[in-house]
Structure 1
Amino acid sequence: MMVSTADKRATFRRMHEAGCFVLPNPFDVGSAKALQRLGFKAIASTSAGFAWSIGKADNHVTVDEVLAHLTALAASVDIPVNADFEGGFAHDAEGVVANVMRAVATGIAGLSIEDSTGDKSNPLYARELAIARIKAARRAIDAAGGEVLLTGRCEAFLWGQADIKLVTDRLIAYAEAGADCLYAPGIKTREEIEAVVKAVAPKPVNLLIGASGLSLREAEALGVRRISVGGSLARVAWAGFMRAAKEMAEQGTFSELSAGYPGGELNKLFS
């Protein structure tokens, strides 16, 4: 029997109350189902991983494409799905309200709104507008019952603004504006992580970890509540695909195909 959307949302909120958990990022229905079968208790979409899966660059998908993807992910698993909802696919607060309401209707348990503009010359929204956009997302979620968990993201480090004071100032403001969880992708040092955790306490913090990052236990010791990996799983999958495809295209040989995951095991996984 499928778990109800309300139950998924209640479970996701409880997961943020104590401890630290991994929130891996599938890029399609198959990878979502595989992660559930491997025992993960919640998953999160990845804007980059999804974009690549439909032959587009990150941040170049449409809101309709993302909503269809989120609907498919949420329906495919019995665990909560958190949505990477980029910047809400709108600049103004009212546009964010409209799109977040549509996102909530897909069956997700949580979503994030980031403060990057996509403009390299002016990468972050002005502070007051960024806060207004988080408030807009909060209004939309509350209008739908308030069950979806809202994550406020400060993208400064990803855009070359490695100013931890700017980041903590914004995350505190996003928490006050109604964000349930806070996230600053790009922070890596223990000092940066501790500064963010302390600044927004007692609200939970999401940490992005790549190949050389902290372990789950190390992150938990720093006060992190959840860990995501962004597009990393998608990049790992693409790495194997590109190695094999390039070998065939450039050398006319097929040795890389021997590294493939056994088809029989995949059939068992999805049976």
Structure 2
Amino acid sequence: MTDPQRTSAAGSADAYDPTVAHPSHELVHDRADALLALHHAPEILTVVNVWDVASALVLADLPQTKALATASHAIAASYGYEDGERIPVDLMIEAVGRIALSTSLPVSADLESGYGDPGETVRRAIGVGVVGANLEDAMRPHIESVENVAEVVKAAEAEGVRFVLNARTDALLMRGDRPLDDAVADAIERGRAYLDAGAACVFVPGLIDEDLAGRLVEGIGERRVSVIGVPGSLSPKRYEELGIARISYGPWPQRVALTALQQSALELYAGGSLPPGTQLLT
């Protein structure tokens, strides 16, 4: 699994320096356009989230993979941090930069709430080759959340990149005791405002059934809603039929990989052998 984009003027990915080792502006521009086109396509964009170069290369080697997305929770966990911007922003930017440098595919990064300065964080992410991002609102006041989206869009425009912002609202995740209808109305109101501020898509995490998917698409727009796949979710094909633009899987792919690692270790401790068909990374 050798990707010619793994090398740059600074050398190999192993010699990564976030200040100099990144794709050229032309490549970043092209990848941003490619990612935006994938969001506008009639087919749903399925992204299986990655957390390091090894996981990125495994997925990039599959012809079905059209783009990569990182998971903040998974990256933080791999460095020993809890989720929720506990990992230093410098370390997160380095991690997503290494992933972007390792592949010719467009990479979208989960940048949580922007680490205190969404515009600057996205500017730095663009500088290491990232062409899209999730940005959480964490149910901050409406006007503050819209301003954060606008800051990201302005920063990307200053870098000359049609950055693909997947603006996330936690209206469903953080609804607490509110009636579901109120939370859905809030998600729609915030989503529309984020699109008006320049976001490409609105990410509404949670367990989204057919009724919820239909209501969100009707309220926010066809091919403008992004969801997360969790145990119990609909299939990507069904979400596509309902008008959803994108499905990602957050930290779940890492959990799948770690579950397989633990199960394999138990097999080895019991005197067994490695699973047949185990990949050899090169």
Q: Give the TM-score of the pair, scaled to structure 1.
A: 0.86
User: Deviations 1:70-106 (Å, cap 9, x if unpaired)?
Assistant: 110000011111110100001xxxx222222111111
Q: Which amino acid aligns with 1:47?
A: S
Does the CA-based 8 Å contact 2:29-2:161 persist in structure 1? Answer: no
Q: Using the alignment, how far apart are the partners of 2:107 and 2:235 within structure 1?
A: 23
Q: Using the alignment, how far apart are the partners of 1:192 and 1:109 within structure 2?
A: 29
Work out which of the residue numbers 234, 245, 249 in structure 2 matches 1:229.
249
Return closer, same or farther for 1:208/1:164 CA change in 2, 3 Å cut-off.
same
Tell me the residue number matched to 1:106.
Answer: 128
Partner SS state of residue 111, structure 1: strand
Return closer, same or farther for 1:57/1:257 CA change in 2, 3 Å cut-off.
farther
Instruction: Give the deviation of 1:184 after TM superposition.
Output: 0.6
Q: Using the alignment, how far apart are the partners of 1:28 and 1:218 within structure 2?
A: 30
Tell me the residue number matched to 1:67.
Answer: 93
Identical residues among aligned pairs (%): 27
Structure 2 unpaired stretches of 5+: 6-22
Once superposed, what is the RMSD of the aligned Cα atoms? Answer: 2.1
Instruction: Give the deviation of 1:244 after TM superposition.
Output: 5.7
Partner SS state of residue 133, structure 1: helix
Q: Using the alignment, how far apart are the partners of 2:81 and 2:258 within structure 1?
A: 14
Q: Which amino acid aligns with 2:71?
A: T
Tell me the residue number matched to 2:155.
Answer: 140
Instruction: Give the deviation of 1:156 after TM superposition.
Output: 2.2
Q: Using the alignment, how far apart are the partners of 2:211 and 2:61 within structure 1?
A: 35
User: Deviations 1:33-62 (Å, cap 9, x if unpaired)?
Assistant: 000112211010001111111111112211
Q: Using the alignment, how far apart are the partners of 1:190 and 1:202 within structure 2?
A: 14
Tell me the residue number matched to 2:194.
Answer: 174
Instruction: Give the deviation of 1:21 after TM superposition.
Output: 2.1
The within-5 A match list for 1:48-59 is 48-59=73-84
Are residues 1:152 and 2:163 paired? no
User: Deviations 1:133-158 (Å, cap 9, x if unpaired)?
Assistant: 11111111111113211111101222
Instruction: Give the deviation of 1:257 after TM superposition.
Output: 6.3
Q: Using the alignment, how far apart are the partners of 2:207 and 2:147 within structure 1?
A: 24
Are residues 1:208 and 2:225 paired? no
Are residues 1:29 and 2:44 paired? no
Q: Using the alignment, how far apart are the partners of 2:146 and 2:133 within structure 1?
A: 16
Q: Using the alignment, how far apart are the partners of 2:33 and 2:47 within structure 1?
A: 16
Q: What is the number of residues matched between the two proteins?
A: 251
Does the CA-based 8 Å contact 2:209-2:234 persist in structure 1? Answer: no
Q: Using the alignment, how far apart are the partners of 1:178 and 1:195 within structure 2?
A: 22
Return closer, same or farther for 1:243/1:222 CA change in 2, 3 Å cut-off.
same
Q: Using the alignment, how far apart are the partners of 1:61 and 1:41 within structure 2?
A: 28
More helix by share: 1
Does the CA-based 8 Å contact 1:244-1:256 persist in structure 2? Answer: no
Work out which of the residue numbers 194, 204, 209 in structure 1 matches 2:214.
194
Instruction: Give the deviation of 1:219 after TM superposition.
Output: 0.8
Q: Using the alignment, how far apart are the partners of 1:89 and 1:211 within structure 2?
A: 29
Tell me the residue number matched to 1:120.
Answer: none
Structure 1 unpaired stretches of 5+: 117-123
Q: Using the alignment, how far apart are the partners of 2:205 and 2:271 within structure 1?
A: 33
Tell me the residue number matched to 1:12.
Answer: 35
Are residues 1:239 and 2:259 paired? yes
Q: Which amino acid aligns with 1:65?
A: L
Tell me the residue number matched to 1:41.
Answer: 66
Does the CA-based 8 Å contact 1:151-1:182 persist in structure 2? Answer: yes
Q: Using the alignment, how far apart are the partners of 2:260 and 2:40 within structure 1?
A: 37
Q: Give the TM-score of the pair, scaled to structure 2.
A: 0.82
Q: Once structures 1 and 2 are overlaid, which stretch shifts more, 201-210 or 56-65? A: 201-210
Partner SS state of residue 227, structure 1: strand
Does the CA-based 8 Å contact 2:207-2:233 persist in structure 1? Answer: no
Instruction: Give the deviation of 1:226 after TM superposition.
Output: 1.3
Instruction: Give the deviation of 1:255 after TM superposition.
Output: 2.8
Does the CA-based 8 Å contact 2:153-2:163 persist in structure 1? Answer: no
